[in-house]
C-alpha cells in the first residue's frame, strides 16, 4: 500500500499531509524535502496514534495533489482544499477522529509539562510567542474552522481564560462530531472551500504542529535558564 500525500505550501513552508491518516504530516522548507520526510512521519504517527502493529516500517508514498496557498485579500491566505477533503465522513471515521482529537490535546498539554500555569504567559528569550499565545492561537483557530461552516462556539470568542477557551472549543467540536456523519456540505467562505472532513484534518494538523512549537519554546526556556 502506498500512502497518499497531499502537498500544500503555506506561510513559506511545505506540508505533506497523509490523506489516509488524519494528523500525519511532514513539514519542510521545500516540496521535495517534505515528501522525503513523509515516511518517517508515518512511522512516528503509528507510535503517536497508538495504532495497531500493521504499519509498515518503510512506508511507500505517492503524491496526489500539490497546492500553493494564495492571497484572497490582504492578510487572508486561502489554504488548500484537496479532493480527499470532499467525501462525507462515516461513523467509523468520526469515532477515530474523536480518539485522535483526545490524543492531540494530550500531546499539546504534555508539551508544556513542568510549566506552572501561572507562567504560561512568561516571555521566552528569542521567541516571539509565549506558550499562552500558542495555546490561545490553537483554540481560536479551531473555533474559526468551525465558523467556516457556521458552527463556531460564539461565547468562546470573548473568553479571556486561555485554558478554559481551549477546553471549551474542543468540547464543542467533540459535541458536533456526530452531526458530521454523512454531512455532504461544501461551503465556500472568503474564497476557501470547507467540509467537515477538512475541519478535522486541519484541527488535528494544527494542534500537533503547535505541540511541536511549544516543545521548541520549552527547550528555549530551559536553555535560557541554564545559560
Residues 48 and 8 in one domain: yes
Residues 153 and 43 in one domain: no
CATH code where residue 224 lies = 1.20.120.450
Spacing of C-alpha 53 from chain mean position:
24
- Boundary (domain end) residue, out of 65, 81, 97: 81
- Boundary (domain end) residue, out of 81, 96, 114: 81
| Three cell numbers, residue 181 | 456523519
User: How far, in Å, CA of 200 to CA of 173, rounded?
Assistant: 9
CATH code where residue 28 lies = 3.30.160
Provide the residue-wise pLDDT of the chain in tens; the chain has 227 residues. Answer: 799 999 999 988 999 999 999 999 999 999 999 999 999 999 999 999 987 667 777 899 999 999 999 998 888 899 999 999 999 999 999 999 999 999 999 999 999 998 888 889 999 988 999 999 999 999 999 999 999 999 999 999 999 999 999 999 999 999 999 999 999 999 999 999 999 999 999 999 999 999 999 999 999 998 888 86
Looking at residue 53, its pLDDT comes to: 62
Task: Give the domain range for residue 51.
Answer: 1-81
- Boundary (domain end) residue, out of 81, 108, 134: 81
pTM of the model: 0.95
User: How far, in Å, CA of 79 to CA of 90, rounded?
Assistant: 24
User: How far, in Å, CA of 85 to CA of 197, rounded?
Assistant: 5
Residues 67 and 105 in one domain: no
Residues 193 and 99 in one domain: yes
Looking at residue 118, its pLDDT comes to: 83
Residues 98 and 210 in one domain: yes
Q: Using CA atoms in the order 120, 125, 128, 133, what is the torsion angle rounded to 10 degrees? A: 0
Looking at residue 227, its pLDDT comes to: 66
- Overall domain count for the chain: 2
Amino acid at each position: 500500500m502506498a500512502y497518499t500525500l497531499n502537498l500544500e505550501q503555506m506561510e513559506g513552508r511545505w506540508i505533506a499531509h497523509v490523506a489516509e491518516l488524519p494528523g500525519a504530516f511532514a513539514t519542510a522548507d521545500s516540496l521535495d524535502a517534505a515528501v522525503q520526510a513523509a515516511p518517517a512521519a508515518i512511522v512516528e504517527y503509528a507510535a503517536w496514534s497508538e495504532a495497531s502493529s500493521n504499519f509498515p516500517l518503510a512506508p511507500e508514498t505517492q503524491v496526489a495533489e500539490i497546492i500553493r496557498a494564495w492571497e484572497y485579500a490582504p492578510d487572508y491566505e486561502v489554504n488548500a482544499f484537496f479532493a480527499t477533503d470532499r467525501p462525507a465522513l462515516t461513523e467509523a471515521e468520526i469515532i477515530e477522529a474523536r480518539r485522535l482529537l483526545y490524543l492531540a490535546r494530550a500531546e499539546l498539554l504534555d508539551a508544556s509539562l513542568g510549566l506552572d500555569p501561572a507562567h504560561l504567559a512568561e516571555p521566552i528569550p528569542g521567541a516571539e510567542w509565549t506558550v499562552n499565545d500558542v495555546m490561545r492561537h490553537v483554540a481560536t483557530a479551531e473555533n474559526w474552522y468551525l465558523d467556516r461552516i457556521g458552527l463556531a462556539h460564539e461565547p468562546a470568542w470573548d473568553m479571556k481564560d486561555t485554558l478554559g477557551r481551549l477546553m471549551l472549543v474542543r468540547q464543542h467540536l467533540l459535541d458536533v462530531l456526530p452531526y458530521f456523519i454523512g454531512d455532504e456540505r461544501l461551503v465556500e467562505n472568503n474564497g476557501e472551500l470547507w467540509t467537515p472532513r477538512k475541519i478535522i484534518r486541519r484541527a488535528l494538523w494544527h494542534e500537533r504542529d503547535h505541540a511541536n512549537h511549544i516543545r521548541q519554546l520549552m527547550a528555549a526556556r530551559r536553555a535560557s535558564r541554564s545559560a
